[in-house]
């Protein structure tokens, strides 16, 4: 998705970033590329009415009332969820891990004392195919967010006046994700839960499991399959969570979860190059007795 070209009606655009960010931050890169003026947070030299409106995206700092009041139109915020669902730091990850079939972005007013609770100015939503991952969804929502801002600026006063409070029902939280989300137990997770977790964490937090004493990183998963796909391969085997099969036609490793089978198409031992499922089977599984074809917790 690419943002639509609109007529230019912004006479001045400056950027504020947190002092903790470096040139590796994508916002800093855009600032330098577009030769924009930038300031570090907290801003100390802002003058009242110097700018018409403040726009906040993924900032991570509560903005005090004294700053908000310096803008004639106040401040607005783009949040990557359909509020009040997924308030918090990681809405895209949590939406995918929960298996949401519809996601979107919200333009809202800034509240000085709490995150993600301001009145809703507008929203846009899109459907989420089962195969879509965080890395693929994030740029799509970024475009939607940019479009919401561009749509809101003409006639902004009227649109702000028409903003509505967030519903009290349907509130869910999206706390910051850490490495603990990459750990799981085959005995306590369904195939679709594991697949959705991979979709939500893909490119940020890897999923790890154990093969004997070795740590395995699951690089790429495919949608779950039913018992009918795996049953022809399970003759005389003790089928339990963690058992591994290789499906020649699909070229994936099937691993049993508590309810059905997840497909693994790419994986690796930690510190080793990523391998296709066939290469992992030939290079590692076939060297072990069939009774040892299990992933651990």
Distance CA 89, CA 176 (A): 5
Whole-number pLDDT of residue 22: 58
The four Cα atoms 61, 65, 67, 71 give a dihedral, to 10 degrees, of: 120
> Where in the chain are all domains bearing CATH 3.40.50.170?
14-161
DSSP 161-227: HT-BPPPSSS--B-PPP-GGGG---GGG--HHHHHHHHHHHTTTS-EEEEETTEEEEEEEEEEEE-H
pLDDT-flagged residues of the chain (< 50): none
11 vs 198: CA distance, rounded Å: 43
- Given this model, what pLDDT does residue 18 score? 77
pLDDT at 87: 98
pLDDT of residue 29: 82
Please state the CATH superfamily assignment of the domain spanning residues 14-161 in this structure: Formyl transferase, N-terminal domain (3.40.50.170)
What's the CA gap between 223 and 234, in Å, rounded? 20
Give the tens place of pLDDT for each residue, 201-245. 999 999 999 999 999 999 999 999 999 999 999 998 999 999 999
Please give the Cα distance from 210 to 296 (Å, whole number): 5
Rounded to 10 deg, the angle between the 191-201 and 134-152 helix axes is 60
Supply the pLDDT for residue 8: 66
The pLDDT value recorded for residue 23 is: 55
β-pairing, 14-18 vs 120-127, is unpaired
Nearest to 105 by CA among 68, 63, 58, 62: 58
d(CA 153, CA 175): 30
pTM of the model as a whole: 0.93
Kindly report, as residue ranges, where domains of CATH 3.10.25.10 are found in the chain: 179-292
- Closest by Cα among 140, 121, 144 to 129: 140
Domain 179-292 is found in CATH 3.10.25.10: yes
């Amino acid at each position: 998705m690419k943002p639509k070209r609109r007529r230019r009606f912004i006479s001045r655009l400056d950027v504020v970033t947190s002092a903790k960010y470096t040139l590796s931050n994508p916002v800093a890169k855009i600032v330098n590329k577009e030769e924009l003026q930038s300031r570090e947070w907290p801003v100390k030299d802002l003058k009242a009415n110097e700018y018409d409106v403040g726009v906040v995206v993924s900032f991570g700092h509560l903005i005090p009332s004294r700053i908000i009041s310096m803008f004639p139109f106040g401040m607005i915020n783009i949040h990557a969820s359909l509020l009040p669902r997924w308030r918090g730091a990681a809405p895209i990850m949590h939406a995918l891990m929960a298996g949401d079939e519809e996601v979107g972005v919200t333009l809202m007013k800034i509240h000085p004392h709490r995150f993600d609770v301001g009145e809703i100015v507008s929203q846009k939503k899109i459907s989420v195919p089962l195969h879509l991952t965080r890395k693929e969804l994030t740029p799509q929502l970024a475009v939607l967010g940019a479009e919401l801002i561009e749509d809101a600026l003409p006639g902004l006063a009227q649109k702000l006046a028409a903003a509505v409070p967030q519903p009290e029902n349907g509130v869910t939280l999206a706390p910051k994700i850490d490495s603990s989300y990459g750990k799981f137990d085959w005995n306590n997770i369904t195939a679709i839960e594991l697949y959705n977790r991979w979709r939500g964490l893909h490119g940020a937090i890897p999923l790890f499991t154990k093969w004997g004493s070795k740590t395995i990183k699951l690089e790429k998963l495919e949608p779950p399959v039913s018992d009918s796909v795996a049953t022809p391969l399970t003759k005389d085997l003790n089928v339990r969570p963690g058992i591994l099969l290789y499906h020649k036609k699909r070229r994936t490793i099937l691993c049993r979860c508590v309810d059905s089978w997840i497909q693994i198409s790419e994986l690796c031992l930690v510190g080793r190059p990523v391998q296709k499922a066939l290469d992992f089977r030939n290079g590692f599984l076939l060297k072990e007795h069939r009774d040892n074809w299990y992933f651990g917790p």
